[in-house]
């Protein structure tokens, strides 16, 4: 499976390297997100600024958020993945880089973002799909087993009915034969 658009967010907050970090913080708050991708004029990702970067690199050092540009606190170079890259490769890339978010690019331009939260949601959907498939397979197996039991019960009932008919048939033939012989005997006695 590839990092299809359903696996990543396609609406990503971006900023330019010279934007003040206060603008980034305001955007993070406004959109309730934890990172901003820093892009160049061609929309190519050149860095990432996370809420943790703001806390550790701006607040902790007493920098002026209105005077500090994004380029001063961004993590760079940024690790990216291709839009058509298999999701397993994206996960491995995130693991190797020890990051929780990775921008997705297509022809070098930013088109999306995969986060560990996105992957957990995707995995949850995959597990739900597997669970539904397993449930369907189990239900089908049970239906087949019930049909097989009903067929076996029917076969047993049919065999018992055949045995009863055969037994009853012989008894009926014997009864009719005896009655016929008795009737013939009575008829002979009256006739003769």
pLDDT digits (tens, 9 = 90+) for 96-145: 999 999 999 999 999 999 988 888 887 888 889 889 999 999 999 999 99
Burial of 170 (0-12, 13-18, 19+ CB in 10 A): exposed
Q: How confident is the model at residue 5 (pLDDT cuts 50, 70, 90)?
A: low
Residue 123 in contact with residue 91, Cβ under 8 Å? no
Report which of residues 154 and 74 the model is more confident about.
74
Percent pLDDT > 70 in the chain is 95
CB atoms within 10 A of CB 100: 15
Alpha helical stretches, state H, 32-86: 51-53, 70-73
Distance CA 87, CA 80 (A): 13
Mean pLDDT score, 35-59: 95
Residue 174 pLDDT exceeds 80: no
Report which of residues 150 and 168 the model is more confident about.
150
Give domain limits for the chain.
5-115
Alpha helical stretches, state H, the chain: 21-31, 51-53, 70-73, 87-97, 116-191
pLDDT of residue 120: 83
pLDDT of residue 1: 40
Distance CA 64, CA 55 (A): 12
**Would you call 76 helix, strand, or coil by DSSP?**
coil
Distance CA 149, CA 130 (A): 28
Q: Mean of the per-residue pLDDT values for the chain? A: 87
Distance CA 78, CA 105 (A): 11
pLDDT of residue 3: 47
pTM for this prediction: 0.64
Percent pLDDT > 90 in the chain is 52
Q: How confident is the model at residue 74 (pLDDT cuts 50, 70, 90)?
A: very high
Distance CA 45, CA 13 (A): 12
pLDDT of residue 106: 94
pLDDT of residue 26: 94
pLDDT of residue 27: 93
Please tell me the class of the 5-115 domain: alpha beta
Distance CA 132, CA 130 (A): 5
**Would you call 180 helix, strand, or coil by DSSP?**
helix
């Amino acid at each position: 499976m590839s990092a299809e658009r359903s696996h990543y967010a396609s609406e990503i907050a971006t900023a330019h390297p010279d934007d003040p970090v206060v603008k980034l913080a305001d955007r993070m708050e406004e959109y309730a997100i934890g990172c901003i991708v820093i892009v160049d004029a061609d929309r190519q990702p050149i860095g990432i600024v996370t809420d943790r970067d703001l806390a550790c690199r701006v607040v902790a050092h007493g920098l002026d958020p209105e005077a500090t540009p994004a380029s001063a606190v961004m993590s760079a170079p940024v690790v990216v993945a291709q839009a058509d890259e298999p999701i397993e490769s994206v996960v491995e890339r995130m693991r190797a880089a020890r990051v929780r978010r990775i921008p997705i690019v297509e022809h070098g331009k930013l088109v999306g973002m995969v986060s560990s939260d996105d992957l957990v949601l995707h995995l949850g959907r995959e597990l739900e799909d597997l669970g539904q498939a397993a449930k369907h397979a189990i239900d089908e197996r049970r239906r087949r087993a019930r049909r097989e039991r009903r067929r076996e019960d029917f076969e047993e009932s049919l065999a018992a009915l055949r045995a009863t008919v055969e037994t009853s048939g012989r008894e009926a033939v014997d009864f009719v034969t005896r009655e016929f012989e008795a009737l013939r005997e009575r008829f002979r006695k009256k006739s003769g």
